[in-house]
Structures are given as structure tokens and as C-alpha cells.
Structure 1
Amino acid sequence: MSQTPAPDSSALNSSRAPEPVGLYPHARRVGNLLFLSGVGPRQRGEKAIPGVELDANGQVLRYDFERQCHAVFQNVRYIVEEAGAQWQDLVDVTVFLTNMKDDFATYNRLYAEYFADSQPCRTTVEINCLPTPIAIELKCIAWVGER
């Protein structure tokens, strides 16, 4: 039985986005598509999460969801731009929220501002938790090619 070889791909890491919390790249380019790993709101070189206040046991006391959204969108922009694409080249966005009931309206308003001109496909799901105490993570696909 013969196997089809994997398409040429290259792993990419941003010098501006936060360091991955596991063994994965920020993105992987396959042909003209750029697949981003999950992107959260942390900032490069920092352990603290923008807008999150933790207690002594690492449990979330309070969080500023709007601040997290802005940070996540900025991190996605860093990765996409360093890979040679632009914000408007995003074609698909999957959003993971840990509190749809309280945060969706804010997220939806900010998403509409950031994506007013490009309008990629979008899926939003609520999940129980993320690997770090964040309230939002984005998984994106972008077009990287000639315009």
C-alpha cells in the first residue's frame, strides 16, 4: 500500500506573539494556506494574562474579557503578518469562549469591529476551560499568496 506524501509545509513562530505553552508552532503554512495554532491573550515574555486577577492558588478572581479580546486579536495579527499575510487574509476563525453567557455580547461587538471589512467564516463555541486561565482563544486559517 502506497502513501501519499505530506504536502510541503513549514512551521512558523512569531517574534512578537506569546511563546507557545506546549510543543507546537504558532502557525504552519501548507501551500497558500496558513493554519494558526490556538492563540490566547498572553503577551510575549510574560506569565501574567492581560486583565486576569488570580488568587494565591491560581484561581481566577476577576477578568477583563474585553482586554483579553483585544490582546488575542493583536496576537493573531502578529502571527499572520510575520507569516506574510494580512488581517484581511483570514478566511476562517474558530473562537473558544469559556463563558458564552456573560462574554458573548462583548466578543460579538469587538469581533464586528475587527472584522468589519474582511468577514471570514466564523464558528464560536463554549468550552469548559482552556489550558491556562484565559477566557478566549482563537484558531484561524489565513490565505497566504498572491493577491
Structure 2
Amino acid sequence: MEQQLEKQVVATKGAPGAIGPYSQAIRFGNLLFTSGQLGMDALGAFPPTVEEQTERSLLNVKAILEEAGYAMEHVVKTTVFLKDMNDFVAVNEVYAKFFAEPYPARSAVQVARLPKDGLVEIEVVAARP
């Protein structure tokens, strides 16, 4: 008998709520897909530096993962959206504190503008056995 998979919404108050028609994350089978997490706190406040926003973004990702029963070591792919590619090194320094080898696959791109004029936004895909 074939098992039917369905999308399950994951939401936590430990990260900012969606600011549009989307979910913080969707679990599908053993995979978890997070929406992009800006570097703001749950009240919508942004710290001033890209380093602080990167840390906040990854703390938001971590809160969503934990709500779904995942951890940072389950992350297999990340996408980092930067307002300014000149911040790449600073973002990497913070990013490296959240992940251990084997590091997830990653893409990093500069974008014209992020929601709410954030400096960084990070989304992840996580998988559990």
C-alpha cells in the first residue's frame, strides 16, 4: 500500500510570523522547507549590523527547525540572500558558528532588495532519516 504524503504547516512564536500568504515552514515526508528568515526578532525589530541580522536570521531558522523536531545538523541546503555581496565575509563568520562539517550545500546571491529592507535573508531545507 502506497503511503500518502501531505504537506504539514510548521509555525512557531519563536520566529517572526509570515508577512504574506505563506508558511514559516512546510514539512513534507522527512523534508522540512523553511521560508526565508529575515534578521529580525519576533516583534519585527532589526538589529543594525549585517552580523547581528545574520545571527538573528539563523536563530529564527533554528526556532522553526526545533518546532518541527529538527536541528541545525539536519540542514542539507541553505540559500543566503544578501543586500550587498560585500557583506559575504561577515555573514560567513556568523554562519560558521551555526553549522559543523559536513556543511550544508549553499547558494549565496545578492538581491536588489529584501522585504522590510533587511540586510540578509536565509532559507533552509532540512532532512531527517
* TM score, norm. by length of structure 2: 0.91
Pick closer, same or farther for the CA change 1:144–1:14 going to 2, 3 Å.
farther
Supply the distance in 2 between the matched residues of 1:74 and 1:47 (Cα, whole angstroms): 14
Q: Aligned partner of 2:61: which letter?
A: V
The CA deviation at 1:113 is 2.4
Deviates more, 1:88-97 or 1:116-125: 116-125
Query: Which residue, 22, 27, 31 being the options, matches 2:29?
Result: 31
The equivalences for 1:15-54 within 5 A come to 15-44=13-42, 46-51=43-48
The equivalences for 1:80-91 within 5 A come to 80-91=65-76
Question: Are positions 1:97 and 2:82 aligned together?
Answer: yes
The CA deviation at 1:127 is 0.4
Q: How many residues align?
A: 126
Percent of matched pairs sharing the same residue: 35
Q: Deviations over 1:7-34 (max 9, x none)?
A: 4111111121111111111100110000
Question: Are positions 1:68 and 2:65 aligned together?
Answer: no
Q: CA RMSD in A?
A: 1.4
Q: Deviations over 1:86-144 (max 9, x none)?
A: 1100000000001002x111011222222133410011011010121101001110013
Structure 1 residue ranges, 4+ long, deviating more than 4 angstroms after superposition: none
Consecutive unaligned residues of structure 2, counting only runs of 5 or more, are none
Supply the distance in 2 between the matched residues of 1:9 and 1:118 (Cα, whole angstroms): 28
**Which has the larger Rg?**
1
- Give the structure 2 partner of residue 55 of structure 1: none
Q: Is the 8 A contact 2:72 2:98 kept in 1?
A: no
Give the match's secondary structure for 1:132.
helix
Supply the distance in 1 between the matched residues of 2:128 and 2:24 (Cα, whole angstroms): 15
Q: Is the 8 A contact 1:84 1:144 kept in 2?
A: no
Query: Which residue, 107, 119, 125 being the options, matches 2:103?
Result: 119
Consecutive unaligned residues of structure 1, counting only runs of 5 or more, are 1-5, 52-63
